[in-house]
Amino acid sequence: MKTVYFNAVCPFEIGDYIRDMGGRIHKITDIAYVHRVRTGKVEFRFELDNSGRLIMLEPSTGSKTR
């Protein structure tokens, strides 16, 4: 087994509200990450509105609101 370390900063926090492309507002209720050992790439996945589904968001696809 290989031990790896990584440092990543998520552009959102749990409890943030985002506006989707359709103008609807959603609350981020959970955040997960996927770390790819071979490439070193880290991807964040977000649960919105306690839906149970994880989706990918980019800072440009959803605008952060308060």
The H or E element that residue 45 is part of is strand 42-48
The owner of tokens 């509105």 is 49
Query: What pLDDT is recorded for position 40?
Result: 84
18 and 26 Cβ atoms separated by less than 8 Å: yes
The half-sphere exposure of 13 on its side-chain side, counting CA atoms within 13 A, is 3
Instruction: State how far the alpha carbon of 56 is from the alpha carbons of 9, 19, 53, in Å.
Output: 15, 14, 10
pTM for the whole thing? 0.76
**Which pLDDT tens digit goes with each residue over 12-36?**
999 999 998 899 999 999 999 998 8
Predicted confidence at residue 2, as pLDDT, reads 79
Whether 61 has a pLDDT exceeding 70, the answer reads no
Three-state secondary structure call for residue 43: strand
